[in-house]
Amino acid sequence: MGKYDFDLELYDANPLNWIASRVTKGTRVLEFGPANGRLTRYLKEEKECLVDIVEIDQESGEEAAEYANNALLGKEKGDIEKYYWLELNEKYDFVIFADVLEHLLNPWEVLKRCKKVIKPDGKILTSVPNAAHNSIIIDLFNDRFNYNPTGLLDNTHLRFFTEESFKNMVQKDGWAIVEERASIIRVGETEIKNTYQDVPKEVFKALICRPHGNVYQYMFALSLSTEYLQGNFERIVSLDSTSYYQMEVQYDRNGVFTYEKSISCQIDPSRRSIEVDFEILKNSKKTLIYPLNCNCVLEIIKIEVCNELGEWNECSYTHNGVAVGNKLYFVKDIPEIRFDHTDCDTRLHISMNVIKYDFDDESYVELMNTLLYEQGHIRQVCEDYEKVVQQKEEELRQKEVELQQKEEELQQHRKSLQQYSANRRGFFINRGKKEI
């Protein structure tokens, strides 16, 4: 069994599935490099195609030959660049190169000779690995270019293509690209074991801004240029890439947050205003949100949860940042937001504004440190003022006590005077009666 022998999983997003979906039922197909025939079998049994194959690996080719109409196998007839396939004298609706062209010494000559075997309205369906994937560039930056058994730097690759170099090659040979697709695998998820942390910050920022830096393989449908120019084909391009930046939500299970109980989505923080919805894990009561996977300044507008009755309720939360006004500053740490909810809640809605993100500007950090110092100074001044106020209030209370005592003394003095006056009046009244 060869190293490219795998089962065909039609629900996976890979080039073979894309190619299989593009082949029309009941057509004639020439498939180069079929390996063990997983696609060959599908085209014969499910799409009722007549398939001729060319495979240099004799053992794998014999498996594929069970589903082929004609099979050219082995190091002689199965060598694409020895052109025995031209002797079949057939015209094909589809010619397939699924990750094959990069293994050829002279792929442009092979494409040129394909014009002899393709029908006027036929197509070449091909896929090629992207030699400009960010993971390759990261290794090159670090003076590494290591081959692997399979993948982007397969140790049997003789040619390497970027999107632009592939387009130049086929167009020079008289082919027009009528459809272009891409499969996406992010840095850190490929067979090349590196991450964005392996390059300086400024290089990292340049890489994540590359439009197709996460494209792992390109898929192209080619037609003869004459047919394309006559308007017989419509050009279709779909190269959706994946943002480096993401929001991750983790739910607790028995009070513990784990990656296994999490969900994430890619976001574009340059849009500033972000709104995201997530489903809430059943039986969880606590949620941990990583709004961005980098340092940032955020303005959290609202966090809401929806219960089983469809009622939305706003949640209060805690965070590991510094709050200044209505903004949260996460200068050195990845932002974390935590809140509690009930086990009846089913959905989570987060809305926030991204003020600044992924910065390493020393002046900004210095400004933030100054702001934190000033904030601490203001807090100290407020605490000192509070102490002065408390002291003055205590003095005022003492004065009030003294005043109360003076009022009581004065009241007692008044009573004494009143008693004295009453006694004196009584004396003079009694004296007057005696004289009379």
pLDDT tens string 99-120: 999 999 999 999 999 999 999 9
Residue 237: what pLDDT?
53
How buried is 133 (Cβ within 10 angstroms: 0-12 exposed, 13-18 middle, 19+ buried)?
A: buried
Residue 312: what pLDDT?
93
Residue 235: what pLDDT?
52
Amino acid at 151: G
Residue 231: CB atoms within 10 A of its CB come to 7
Residue 434: what pLDDT?
62
Please say if the pLDDT value at position 331 is more than 90. Answer: no
User: What is the rounded distance in angstroms from the CA atom of residue 216 to the CA atom of residue 413?
Assistant: 101
User: What is the rounded distance in angstroms from the CA atom of residue 317 to the CA atom of residue 334?
Assistant: 16
What pTM does this model have? 0.65
Residue 6: what pLDDT?
44
Q: Which residue has the tokens 């190091």?
A: 75
Top pLDDT among 284 and 132 is at 132
Please say if the pLDDT value at position 74 is more than 90. Answer: yes
Residue 5: what pLDDT?
45
Task: List domains and CATH numbers for the chain.
Answer: 15-238 (3.40.50.150), 246-361 (2.60.120)
CA separation (Å) from 334 to 229, 274, 369, 370? 53, 17, 17, 21
The least confident of 266-270, 349-353, 393-397 is: 266-270
Residue 124: CB atoms within 10 A of its CB come to 25
Please say if the pLDDT value at position 317 is more than 90. Answer: yes
Distance of CA 75 to the CA centre of its chain: 45
Helix, strand, or coil here: 217?
Answer: strand
State the average pLDDT for the chain: 86
Please say if the pLDDT value at position 272 is more than 60. Answer: yes
The least confident of 4-13, 14-23, 194-203 is: 4-13
User: What is the rounded distance in angstroms from the CA atom of residue 354 to the CA atom of residue 291?
Assistant: 10
- Which of the four pLDDT bands, split at 50, 70 and 90, describes residue 173? confident
Please say if the pLDDT value at position 381 is more than 80. Answer: yes
Residue 417: what pLDDT?
81
Please say if the pLDDT value at position 159 is more than 90. Answer: yes
Residue 428: what pLDDT?
66
CA separation (Å) from 199 to 137, 138, 206, 340? 10, 7, 11, 38
DSSP 281-343: PTT--EEEEES-SS-EEEEEEEEEEEETTS-EEE---EESSEEETTEEEESSS---EEEE--T
User: What is the rounded distance in angstroms from the CA atom of residue 164 to the CA atom of residue 413?
Assistant: 108
Backbone angles phi, psi at 26, to 5 degrees: 75, 20
Residue 227: what pLDDT?
56
Top pLDDT among 92 and 248 is at 92
User: What is the rounded distance in angstroms from the CA atom of residue 195 to the CA atom of residue 266?
Assistant: 17
**Which among 309, 307, 301 is positioned nearest to 285, based on CA atoms?**
307
- Provide the strand spans (E) within 143-291: 175-184, 215-224, 236-238, 246-253, 256-266, 273-279, 286-290
How much of the chain, in percent, has pLDDT values that exceed 90?
A: 49
Residue 236: what pLDDT?
54
Please say if the pLDDT value at position 11 is more than 60. Answer: no
Please say if the pLDDT value at position 1 is more than 70. Answer: no
- pLDDT digits over 393-418, tens only? 888 888 888 888 888 888 888 888 87
Q: CA 141, 147, 149: angle at the middle one, nearest 5? A: 145
